[in-house]
A and B are shown apart, each in its own frame.
Chain A
Amino acid sequence: MSSTPQPLLSLERLGKIYPNGTAALRGVDLSVGPGTVHGLLGANGAGKSTLIRILCGATPATTGTIRWRGAAVLWPHPARARAAGIATLHQQIPLVGALSVRENVFLGQRGYWRRGREERWRLSRLMDSIGYHLPAEAPVAALAIGERQMVGILQALAADAQLIVMDEPTASLAAPERQLVHRAIRRLAAEGRAVLFVTHFLDEALALTDALTVLRDGAAVISAETAAVDEAALAAAIAGRPIHRTARAAARAGAEVVAEIDGLRSRGHLAPCTLRVRAGEVLGIAGFLGSGRSELLHAIFGADRAARGAVRLLGRTVPRSPGASVRAGIALVPEDRAAQALVPGLPLWQNITLAHLARFSRWGVFPQGQLEREAAAGAVRRLLIKARALDAPVGELSGGNAQKVSIARWLCGPTRLLLLDEPTAGIDVGAKAEILDQVRALAASGVAVILVDSELKVLLEEADRILVMREGAIVAERLAAQTDEAELIRLAAGAAAGLRRPETLQ
């Protein structure tokens, strides 16, 4: 649509209707030129994933045309799209954990012989080209998520992809890792490759992309040069309605202390941590990936068997096991909802009642399906969970709804301390606002909340107090009203701005 050189990829009136009648895409136009970064935004369920699946050849479009370098193409199989020069990086990059970085990067290469030396040489050239170096022989299982993203990018480059489709590569990354990925993407574009970049972060989309497409209900509602839009317009387009941020009630400084955590530590993960949380208080935890945020939550919840120290809830010591924590009223919403929160074999309602099942059971032994369903239906209503039915398998829920189920589980019991680990990662603006509303409502009802979030803006808006963690230790405490993003980043990165120093582990 722009008059610049012929687009690398253009989609014309692309439509997709699934066999069950769901119209996932309703005639989307989109074009990506060489050397550009194109942002793709939209709420969960807007059709982004379907679009990507069509692009990478995993599913055929029902109507419309895909043009690749000007010629209409049909990709009946992912291998064909890959051969044409499209690489797709899914959120969970399928890498072989036991193999090295080098072996993973060249996994899809043809030929029968392993060519170690040649591969090492090519790999180091590829790493130069994105400006990021990884140990070539390190097993991928030992890498952090951000580094795995880089392996995925290298894999795409090794296959000489001209268009790299990235499905929320930064969703689970902390700020420095995110910067790395951004830098790599910019260098790819500078080399003349095109990047189609799916993200939920509006600021990221504005800063990184040249052009933007916003999908809503399967149609493109914004399709423009990035320079021509602003954050408010994007947010409104994604949500389809203005998003209201309700003001948080002032913290109740005099409220009773709900949780007292003394000298909680775990060898190699967590230096002794001592903290207090009051009823109705939201305590934010800031820190980069790997700074010990999740480890602290798991230790409080008793899920870290190596953790030592005392956790008292309303003055009573809680034995160190997840079961004892649940009974005492501690709840954990873990970071990885697919692997740590939801049980795929159980239907929605059983997932919701799983933790407090005994409450819905006669004599604590025989679950009463009717009570369970009523409780689950209540939670579904309260959290605005969108699902086909109470019996729907949880695997078919979108990210935001899955996260809501993971939170709903703890509304079924007497939760006094709620531990939230990245509750808004990879979730669209609408669901995110609804989840944060819910957190606020819980705090208002007297629940103490500890909130870990990589988005500092969320912490600053939601938390009363913010603890900053670095290398497994709490290194600073600030009132949310008296700090800002810049200070938090400075604290989390250490005084020497990112240099890791041993003395920070006190």
Chain B
Amino acid sequence: MRRMLGLREAGVYYALALLVAALTVITAALGRPSYLSPVNLINILYQTAPVAIMGVAMTVVLITGNFDLSVASVAALAAAVNILVIDHVGFWAAMGVSLATAGAVGVLNGVMVELVGINAFIVTLGTLTAIRGLVLVLTDGRSLMVRTPAALEAMTNFESGRAAGLPLPIFYMAGFTLLAWLLLRFTTAGRRLYAAGGSPEAARLAGINVRGYKLGAFVLSALAAGFAGVLYASRFGAMNPTALQGEELTVIAAAILGGTSLFGGAGSVLKTVAGALVLYTLTNGFNVLNLGANYQGLIEGSVLIAAAAIYTVGGRRRRPRHSAGPPPGAPDAHQAQSQPAVL
């Protein structure tokens, strides 16, 4: 129990709480509008939604021991496709086409990594570049706009509509996160995903379809990116070809802030969402405090490294308690004999 509340396990929640508290105190001291106002908090949640949705799927990819750099390009592609077809086929069909396009990229990523056997970093670096290129080709380098008023209205309803006073994207984020959390926590598929990432060979020899799960994670990631792209297109009813450029790094940063291991086998989607919230709270704080946007990257990067340092050092300190003796797998753990708690 103590470990569950420790810095390593719950650090990202503390960071978020600390950040919000600090900003609240500072805004109050400076006599600015209260940071904790519902309007501001809702605004942060709303802004976080697309990155959090991609981050949740990214976490699943990272749990399987892979890596997906292509999400922002895929989101941009989905947005472009969405705007290109929506005038002709209507909102829902356009959404379907966008998601199918994104899913196809996910299949491509997965097949290249799992069936051809190329490293995930290289494959998705390739699709990151190539798909952005495809967006430029599709848009001919110009901004795209939705022309049909009916389509535009459907988009606005989808993206800017409210339920219970909250913008809909907050519900999309919450719903998707909850679904992913339930999947990972309570289903056989979730257990097998962790096993496939934690030790692919052991999982394979336990009869788990490791390739299938890893490939599926890529498809999920691409679909989430596609959905984020549709949200983006719907927000503005338009897009320019460089939209969302570099956003993949924010997505990965959110997962790392949430303590997801880059080596697979560990990670929590809830913490990734908290990580995304930390990043957007920082951004929002800079705006509220009227600090120059120039400092933003510097601070965000430092926070990321500090978080990773805490996870790494915290993990190192925790380990000796369990295996002060030999490394895992060595045939001579002293506890085994000296504390024989035969169950």
Contacts and interface: CB of A to CB of B under 8 A. Distances in A.
Interface string B199-220: 1011111111100000000000
Interface stretch (B99-107, B272-280, B325-333): B325-333
B322 A361 contact: no
A44 B188 contact: no
Nearest to A216: B337
Nearest to B198: A345
A388 interface: yes
Nearest to A328: B207
Contact of A367 (B191, B265, B338): B191
A79 to B, nearest CB: 18
B265 A47 contact: no
A20 to B, nearest CB: 6
Given A345-B198, A366-B188, A217 B342 contact: no
A125 interface: no
Nearest to B333: A398
Nearest to B204: A322
Contact of B341 (A388, A394, A427): A388
Contacts of B339: 22, 388
A345 B343 contact: no
Given A20-B324, A48-B332, A217 B341 contact: no
B333 A397 contact: yes
Interface residues on A, range: 35 or more
Given A327-B207, A364-B188, A366-B186, A386 B331 contact: no
Given A323-B209, A357-B192, A395-B329, A45 B187 contact: no
A332 interface: yes
B56 interface: no
Nearest to B331: A399
A18 B328 contact: no
Interface string A398-431: 1111100000010000000000000000111000
Interface stretch (A80-88, A146-154, A178-186, A335-343): A335-343
A392 to B, nearest CB: 8
Nearest to B207: A326
A355 B207 contact: yes
Contact of B198 (A49, A217, A343): A343
A45 B205 CA distance: 28
B336 interface: yes
A385 interface: yes
16 contacts: A22-B334, A53-B326, A171-B331, A217-B338, A303-B204, A322-B206, A323-B207, A342-B199, A343-B194, A343-B199, A343-B203, A344-B328, A354-B206, A358-B188, A387-B336, A390-B343
Rank and list the top 4 A-B pairs by shortest CB-CB distance, nearest first.
Answer: A399-B331, A45-B337, A338-B329, A326-B207
Interface of B: 186-189, 191-192, 194-195, 197-199, 201-209, 265-266, 320-326, 328-343
Interface of A: 18-20, 22-24, 43-50, 53, 59, 90-92, 168, 171, 217-218, 301, 303, 321-323, 325-327, 332, 334, 337-346, 350, 354-355, 357-358, 361, 364-367, 377, 380-381, 384-390, 393-402, 409, 426-428
